[in-house]
C-alpha cells in the first residue's frame, strides 16, 4: 500500500513504453507488398465457414467466385463464370465457366469443382452462413452437364443472386485447402497468429487488365493483426501501412492535418446508431416501466427531444448524418425519400408526453401513477462516439424531465443482458449493414426473430404494426417485382418512423485513410471498402523506389 | 517538504477547488455545445472537454470528490482493520488463526478484478453519486487486510505488556483497557495506515475510472478524465487536457510526502 501512488505513476509510464516498443513490431514489408491492419485474427480460413469480419475479408481476397458484386454499381459481374442465366421463375440458375481456369497450384478448375464447393456450402454439416440465403438449402440440387456448365435447381426464387454467389468461394473438389489453393487473386502463404497474415499473388489467376497484364498487380498483401487504433494510425502516418478502413472520426482531423491527401469522407454509410427501449413482457422490470416503454407517445417524445444534428457534429466531429430511419440515404435504391418522422422539438416532446399521461413537477417528469421517470441507457465500453452520444442524450432528455443514467458494459456482459436476461431498460448500439438489400435485415424485423431487439422471439406479433412489418418484409423477400418490393420496404420504413421501436440517431460516415502511394483505389462504402478491387491496387511510387535500389 | 508545507499546499488546493465550484457559473455536467474542446478563454479558463464542459470546474469537482471519497474510505478501512486486528489479537488462538486466514485470503485475491466484479454488480439505474459512494465503499471494504495484519502484530505486542497486565489486575474492563491503553498506544500505527490509504484509494479510483468502472457520468472523477489521454487526436488539440493528470500527480506527491513525514515522526 505504501508505494501505491508510485505504482500508479509507473502504471501510466509502462503502457507508453509498451506502446513505443510495439511501434517497432510491424513485420518487414516485402517488395510490392500492400499492408494494412485488421483488428482480430480470422476465426477460420475455410471459406465455407466464414462468420466473422476478418475471415470474410480473407475469403474476399483469396476466394475465386462465380460472380462478384461491383461495390460501386451494386451490379453482379461475371468472374469464374463467363456468363449466367436465371430462369423467369427464378428456380434455375445456369453458370457457364470460362475456358482454361486454373487453381493457384496449376490444376484445372472445372464444373466438378464448382458443384463440389456449392454442395459443401449447402450441406447442413458445414454450417455455412450463406446457405440460409437459399431458404431451403436441402432442396437445392446442382448438376454439371459438361465441364464448363453448372445448373442449380432451386425450390424457390432467391433474392440477390449476385450477393449470394459473391460469398461462395470455389475450392478444388475434395481438397479443401483453407485458402492455400484457390482460383482467386491471392492465396494464404503465411499466417502468424496474433501477428500477421501474408497473402501471395496467385500466378494462375484468370484475369488480365486492359493491356493484357496479368492481375493482381500487387505481389503480396500483409494483414497485420493489430487491435490498437493509436498504433495503426502511427504506422499509417509512418508509411508502414497503406490504408485504414473505418478511420475513427476522432482521428480524421489528426490524419488530415499530417497527410491531407490521404483522408476520405465518403458520406453516410449503410450503418445506423440507435437507441431502443426494452418492450419484452418477460423483462425483469417493474410493470410501470414496461408501460412507459410500450407507450407510443413516450417513445415519440424521446425521439423529438434528441438533437441529432448535435450528435453528428460533436460525437462524430461532423462525420455522421442525422438518422430518422433504418435505411440510410446512401442506399439510394431502398431509401424512402418521402419518409415522415417526428421532428426535433422540446416543446413538441413536452406536448406529446402530456398527451400520453405524463406530467412535470419542477424539472422532473412523472407518469400518471406518480412514478418518477428515470431509466438507464446501456451501451458498450470502448466506443468513444457512442459514449459521447449517450452523455448528450442524457442532457437532451433532462430537458423534458427524464433522469437518465449511462452505463457502459463490456460487450459480452452487454450481450448477456440484451439477449439472455433482457435485464436492461434502454440500449444504445449500432447496426452494421453490409448489404443494401433489405432482405439482409429480415432477422431484425421479423417479430419471431431473436434479433428483434426491442421484443425478441415473439410467438405472435405483439402489436398490429409489428404484424404489418412481418407481412411486408416477408412479401418483399419473395416478390419478383422490384417496384412491389420497394413499396413494401417504403411502408416498413414509415411504420418504424411512426412507432419508433428503434429511435435512429445517426448514420456514421465512411471514413478511410489511403496512402497516396497506393494506386488504383476506387472508393466504395460497401465492405471491404477500399480493397474491393484488390486486383488493381499497387504501390506505384514505392515500387519505383525499390526498383531503383 | 515539511508536514506544514504539505498541509498548506493541500489546503490551498482544496480551497481553490471549492472556490471554483462556488463562483463558477458552470455546472460540472453542463454541455456548451458551441464550445467543444474550446481553448482557454475568459469564459473557460482552462478550456472545455469533448462535450463542451468547463474543464476547470470538472477538475475542481474531481479533486474534491476524490479527496473526500478517499478520506472517508480510508477511515472506514482503518476502522475495519483495527477491529479485525484487535479481535484477532485478543481471541483464543484457534479463532485468531481463522481470522488471520480470512485476512490472508483477502490479501491473495486479485483486487482489481474483484473491484471490477463488485462494481459491475451494481444496479444499472443508480445515480452517479451512488456510483461514487459505491466505488469508494468497495475500495474501503477490500482495502483492510494488510492494515489489519499490521495492527494485529502491534496489538499482540501490547497485549503482553506490563501495563496491560497491571490494568487487568486493577479490574479494568476490556473496553476501558482498549480506550485508555490500547488505542492510544496503537495510534502511531493507525494514523500512518489511514494516511497511506488516502492516496492509495485516489490512485485506485483513477485506475478503475480509466477502465470505465469508476464514478458514473456525468460526475467527474480522476479516472474518467484520464480516459481522454488515451486519444492522441485530442492531445494534439489542447494542452489543457494534461491538467487532470498533472494535478493528480501533484496531489499524490503531496499526500505521499505528508504521510512520510507523519510516519517518520510517529
> Which chain B residues are closer than 8 Å to A392 by Cβ?
31, 33, 51
The DSSP H or E segment spanning A94 is: strand A92-97
Evaluate whether A447 touches A281 at the Cβ level (below 8 Å): no
Q: pLDDT for A464-520, tens place per residue? A: 999 999 999 999 988 888 899 999 999 999 999 999 999 999 999 999 999 999 999
Could you tell me which chain A residue has the CA closest to the CA of B122? A407
Q: What is the pLDDT of residue A17?
A: 47
A83 vs B114: which has the higher pLDDT? A83
Going by C-beta distance under 8 Å and a sequence separation of 6 or more, which residues neighbour residue A106? A204
Task: Give the bridge partners for A406, in sequence order.
Answer: A377
User: What pLDDT band is residue B120 in, cutting at 50, 70 and 90?
Assistant: low
Helices (H) and strands (E) in chain B, counts: 12, 0
Beta strands in A161-230 (DSSP E): 186-192, 196-201, 220-225
Cα–chain center distance at B238: 29
Closest by Cα among B82, A149, A351 to A359: A351
> Nearest Cβ partner of B212 from A9, A405, A408?
A408
Residue from A313, A325, A506, A345 nearest A428 by CA: A506
* Helix residue spans in A167-259 (DSSP H): 229-237, 249-258
Per-window interface: A 222-241 vs B, CB < 8 A: 230, 233
Residue B266: predicted pLDDT = 62
For residue A544, pLDDT beyond 70: no
Nearest residue to A522 (alpha-carbon basis) of A96, A139, A71: A71
How many angstroms separate the first and last alpha carbons of chain A? 58
Are A374 and B216 an interchain contact pair (Cβ–Cβ within 8 Å)?
A: no
> Above 70 in pLDDT, residue B48?
yes
On the question of pLDDT at A340 being above 70, the answer is: yes
Give the separation between CA B55 and CA B247, rounded to whole angstroms: 12
User: pLDDT value at position B1?
Assistant: 57
Cell (9 digits) for B170? 486493577
Is the pLDDT reported for residue A337 higher than 70? yes
How far is A169 from B188, CA to CA, in rounded Å?
Answer: 75
CB-side neighbour CA atoms (13 Å) of A136: 9
Query: What is the average pLDDT across B27-44?
Result: 93
pLDDT reading at A88 higher than 70: yes
How far apart (Å, rounded) are the C-alpha atoms in residues B261 and B263?
Answer: 5
Residue A2 has pLDDT above 60, yes or no: no
Q: Which pLDDT does position A22 carry in this prediction?
A: 47
Cell 421517470, residue? A373
- Residue A14 — pLDDT band, cuts 50, 70, 90? very low
Comparing CA positions, the residue from A159, A154, A188, A157 lying closest to residue A171 is A188
Residue A324: HSE in the Cβ half-sphere, 13 Å Cα cutoff: 19
Phi, psi of A242 (to 5 degrees): -100, -15
Residue A388 has its nearest CB partner, among B51, B143, B230, at B51
Total beta-carbon pairs less than 8 A apart between chain A and chain B: 92
Q: What is the pLDDT of residue A549?
A: 37
Reported as type and span, the H/E element at residue A81 is strand A81-86
CA-based nearest residue to A402, from A477, A295, A292: A292
pLDDT for the residue B228: 84
- Max Cα-Cα span within chain A: 81
Contacts of A257 in chain B (CB under 8 A): 236
- Hey, is the C-beta of A1 within 8 angstroms of any chain B C-beta? yes
- Rounded-to-integer distance, Cα B123 and Cα B143, Å: 23
State residue A547's pLDDT score: 43
End-to-end, the C-alpha distance of chain B in Å comes to: 17
Among B51, B124, B232, the residue with its CB nearest the CB of A376 is: B124
- At residue A325, the pLDDT reads 96
The pLDDT-based confidence of A541 (bands split at 50, 70, 90) is low
Question: Is residue A372 within 8 angstroms of chain B, CB to CB?
Answer: no
Q: What per-residue confidence (pLDDT) applies to A543?
A: 47
pLDDT at residue B119, as a whole number: 65
Cα(B224)–Cα(B222) distance, integer angstroms: 6
| Closest-approach residue (CA) in chain A for B252 | A5
Q: How many residues does chain B have?
A: 266
Q: A545 pLDDT exceeds 80?
A: no
Per-residue pLDDT of A358-373, as tens digits, reads 999 999 999 999 999 9
For residue A199, say if its preceding peptide bond is cis, omega within 30 degrees of 0: no
Give the span between the Cα atoms of A313 and B36, in whole angstroms: 10
DSSP 8-state class, residue B179: I
The stretch A171-179 carries a mean pLDDT of 92
Check whether A268 has a pLDDT greater than 60.
yes
What mean pLDDT do residues A14-19 have? 48
B253 to chain A nearest CA, in Å? 8
Q: Is the pLDDT of residue A159 over 70?
A: yes
Higher pLDDT, A136 or A489: A489
- For residue B132, which residues of chain A lie inside 8 Å, CB to CB? none
- The count of C-alpha atoms lying within 13 angstroms of the C-alpha of A50, restricted to the half-sphere facing its C-beta, is 22
pLDDT in tens, A384-434: 899 999 999 999 999 999 999 998 888 888 888 898 889 999 999 999 988
d(CA B251, CA B23): 22
d(CA B118, CA A536): 53
pLDDT at residue A530 in the model: 95
3-state DSSP of A472-535: HHHHHHHCCCHHHHHHHHHHHHHHHHHHCCEEEEEEEEEEEEECCCEECCCCCCCCCHHHCCHH
- A6, exposed or middle or buried, with CB in 10 Å at 0-12, 13-18, 19+? middle
pLDDT in tens, B133-177: 988 998 898 888 888 988 898 888 888 888 888 888 888 887 788
Residue found by looking up cell 407510443 in the block: A296
Give the pLDDT confidence score for residue B160 in this predicted structure.
80
CA distance A442 to A448: 10
* Per-residue model confidence (pLDDT) at position B254: 93
Find the mean pLDDT for residues A125-136. Answer: 86
Q: Is the pLDDT of residue B25 over 70?
A: yes
**Is A363 at the interface with chain B, CB within 8 A?**
no
Burial B29-55 (b: 16+ CB within 10 A, else e): bbbeeebbbbeeeeebebbbbbbbbbb
Q: Is the pLDDT of residue A539 over 80?
A: yes
Q: Flag whether the ipTM exceeds 0.85.
A: no
Of A2, A378, A382, the CB nearest to B196: A2
Are β-strands A374-380 and A403-409 bridged in parallel, bridged antiparallel, or unpaired? parallel
**How far is the C-alpha of A11 from the C-alpha of A29, rounded, in Å?**
33
Whole-number percent of chain A with pLDDT over 90: 77
In DSSP notation, A4-43 reads HHHHHHHHHHHHHHHHHHHHTTSPPPPTTEEEEEESS--S
Instruction: Locate A106 and state its grid cell.
Output: 496449376
pLDDT at A382: 81
Residue of A nearest to B218 (CA): A391
Tell me what the pLDDT averaged over chain B comes to: 88
Between CA B49 and CA B17 the distance in angstroms is 18
Answer whether B212 touches A (CB < 8 Å): yes
pLDDT exceeds 70 at position A12:
no
* Helix (H), strand (E) at residue B10: helix B3-23
**In the predicted structure, residue A18 carries a pLDDT above the cut 50:** no
Is the Cβ pair B232, A381 closer than 8 Å? Answer: no
Q: Which of A43-52, A349-358, A535-544, B230-239 comes out lowest in average pLDDT?
A: A535-544
- In Å, how far are A37, A525, A537, B213 from A522, measured between CA atoms? 19, 10, 9, 43
Mean of per-residue pLDDT scores for chain A: 91
Amino acid at each position: 500500500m505504501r508505494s501505491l501512488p508510485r505504482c500508479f505513476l509507473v502504471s501510466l509510464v509502462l503502457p507508453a513504453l509498451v506502446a513505443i516498443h510495439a511501434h517497432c513490431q510491424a513485420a518487414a514489408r516485402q517488395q510490392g507488398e500492400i499492408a494494412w491492419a485488421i483488428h482480430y485474427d480470422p476465426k477460420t480460413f475455410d471459406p465455407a465457414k466464414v462468420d466473422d469480419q476478418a475471415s470474410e475479408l480473407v475469403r474476399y481476397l483469396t476466394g475465386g467466385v462465380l460472380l462478384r458484386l461491383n461495390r460501386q454499381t451494386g451490379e453482379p459481374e461475371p468472374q469464374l463464370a463467363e456468363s449466367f442465366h436465371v430462369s423467369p421463375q427464378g428456380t434455375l440458375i445456369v453458370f457457364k465457366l470460362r475456358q482454361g481456369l486454373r487453381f493457384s497450384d496449376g490444376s484445372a478448375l472445372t464444373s466438378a469443382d464448382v458443384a463440389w464447393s456449392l454442395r459443401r456450402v449447402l450441406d447442413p454439416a458445414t454450417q455455412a452462413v450463406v446457405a440460409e440465403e437459399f431458404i431451403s438449402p436441402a432442396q437445392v440440387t446442382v448438376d454439371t452437364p459438361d465441364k464448363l456448365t453448372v445448373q442449380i435447381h432451386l425450390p424457390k426464387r432467391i433474392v440477390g443472386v449476385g450477393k449470394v454467389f459473391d460469398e461462395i468461394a470455389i475450392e478444388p473438389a475434395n481438397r479443401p485447402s483453407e485458402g492455400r489453393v484457390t482460383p482467386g487473386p491471392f492465396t494464404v502463404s503465411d499466417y502468424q497468429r496474433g501477428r500477421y497474415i501474408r497473402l501471395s499473388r496467385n500466378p494462375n489467376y484468370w484475369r488480365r487488365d486492359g493491356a493484357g497484364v496479368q492481375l493482381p498487380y500487387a505481389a503480396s498483401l500483409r494483414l497485420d493483426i493489430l487491435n490498437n487504433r493509436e498504433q495503426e494510425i502511427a504506422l499509417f502516418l509512418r508509411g508502414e501501412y497503406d490504408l485504414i478502413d473505418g478511420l475513427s472520426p476522432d482521428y480524421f482531423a489528426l490524419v488530415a492535418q499530417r497527410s491531407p491527401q490521404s483522408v476520405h469522407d465518403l458520406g453516410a454509410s449503410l450503418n445506423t446508431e440507435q437507441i431502443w427501449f426494452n418492450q419484452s413482457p418477460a423483462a425483469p422490470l417493474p410493470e410501470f416501466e414496461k408501460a412507459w416503454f410500450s407507450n407510443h407517445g413516450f417513445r415519440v417524445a424521446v425521439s423529438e427531444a434528441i438533437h441529432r444534428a448535435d450528435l453528428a457534429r460533436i460525437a462524430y466531429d461532423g462525420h455522421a448524418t442525422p438518422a430518422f430511419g433504418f435505411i440510410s440515404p446512401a442506399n439510394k435504391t431502398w431509401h424512402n425519400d418521402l419518409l415522415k418522422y417526428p421532428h426535433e422539438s422540446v416543446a413538441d416532446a413536452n406536448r406529446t408526453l402530456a398527451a400520453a399521461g405524463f406530467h412535470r413537477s419542477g424539472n422532473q417528469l412523472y407518469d400518471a401513477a406518480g412514478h418518477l421517470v428515470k431509466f438507464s441507457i446501456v451501451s458498450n465500453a470502448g466506443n468513444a462516439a457512442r459514449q459521447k452520444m449517450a452523455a448528450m442524450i442524457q442532457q437532451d432528455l433532462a430537458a423534458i424531465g427524464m433522469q437518465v443514467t449511462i452505463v457502459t458494459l463490456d460487450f459480452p456482459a452487454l450481450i448477456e443482458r440484451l439477449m439472455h436476461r433482457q435485464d436492461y431498460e434502454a440500449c444504445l448500439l449500432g447496426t452494421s449493414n453490409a448489404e443494401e438489400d433489405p432482405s439482409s435485415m429480415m432477422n431484425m424485423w421479423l417479430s419471431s426473430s431473436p434479433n428483434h431487439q426491442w421484443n425478441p422471439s415473439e410467438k405472435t406479433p405483439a402489436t398490429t404494426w409489428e404484424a404489418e412489418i412481418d407481412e411486408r418484409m416477408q412479401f418483399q423477400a419473395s416478390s419478383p417485382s422490384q417496384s412491389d418490393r420497394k413499396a413494401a420496404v417504403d411502408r416498413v420504413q414509415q411504420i418504424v418512423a411512426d412507432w419508433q421501436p428503434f429511435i435512429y440517431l445517426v448514420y456514421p460516415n465512411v471514413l478511410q485513410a489511403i496512402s497516396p502511394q497506393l494506386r488504383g483505389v476506387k472508393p466504395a462504402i460497401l465492405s471491404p471498402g477500399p480493397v474491393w478491387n484488390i486486383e488493381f491496387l499497387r504501390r506505384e511510387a514505392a515500387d519505383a523506389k525499390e526498383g531503383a535500389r | 517538504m515539511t508536514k506544514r508545507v504539505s498541509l498548506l499546499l493541500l489546503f490551498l488546493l482544496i480551497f481553490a477547488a471549492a472556490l471554483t465550484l462556488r463562483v463558477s457559473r458552470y455546472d460540472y455536467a453542463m454541455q456548451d455545445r458551441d464550445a467543444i474542446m474550446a481553448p482557454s478563454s475568459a469564459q473557460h479558463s482552462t478550456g472545455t472537454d469533448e462535450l463542451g464542459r468547463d474543464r476547470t470546474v470538472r477538475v475542481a469537482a474531481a479533486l474534491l470528490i476524490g479527496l473526500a471519497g478517499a478520506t472517508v474510505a480510508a477511515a472506514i478501512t482503518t476502522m475495519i482493520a483495527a477491529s479485525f486486528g484487535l479481535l484477532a489479537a485478543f481471541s483464543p488462538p484457534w479463532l485468531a488463526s481463522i481470522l488471520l486466514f480470512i485476512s490472508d485470503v483477502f490479501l491473495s485475491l486479485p483486487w482489481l478484478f474483484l473491484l471490477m466484479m463488485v462494481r459491475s454488480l451494481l444496479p444499472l439505474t443508480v445515480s452517479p453519486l451512488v456510483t461514487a459512494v459505491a466505488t469508494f465503499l468497495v475500495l474501503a471494504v477490500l482495502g483492510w487486510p494488510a492494515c489489519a495484519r499490521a495492527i494485529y502484530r502491534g496489538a499482540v505486542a501490547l497485549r503482553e505488556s506490563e501495563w496491560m497486565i497491571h490494568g487487568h489486575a486493577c479490574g479494568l474492563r476490556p473496553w476501558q483497557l482498549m480506550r485508555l491503553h490500547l488505542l492510544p498506544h496503537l495510534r502511531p500505527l493507525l494514523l500512518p495506515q489511514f494516511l497511506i490509504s488516502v492516496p492509495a484509494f485516489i490512485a485506485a479510483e483513477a485506475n478503475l475510472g480509466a477502465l470505465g468502472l469508476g464514478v458514473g457520468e456525468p460526475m467527474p472523477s480522476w479516472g474518467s478524465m484520464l480516459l481522454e489521454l488515451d486519444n492522441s487526436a485530442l492531445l494534439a488539440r489542447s494542452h489543457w487536457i494534461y491538467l487532470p493528470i498533472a494535478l493528480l500527480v501533484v496531489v499524490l506527491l503531496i499526500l505521499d510526502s505528508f504521510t512520510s513525514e507523519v510516519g517518520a515522526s510517529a
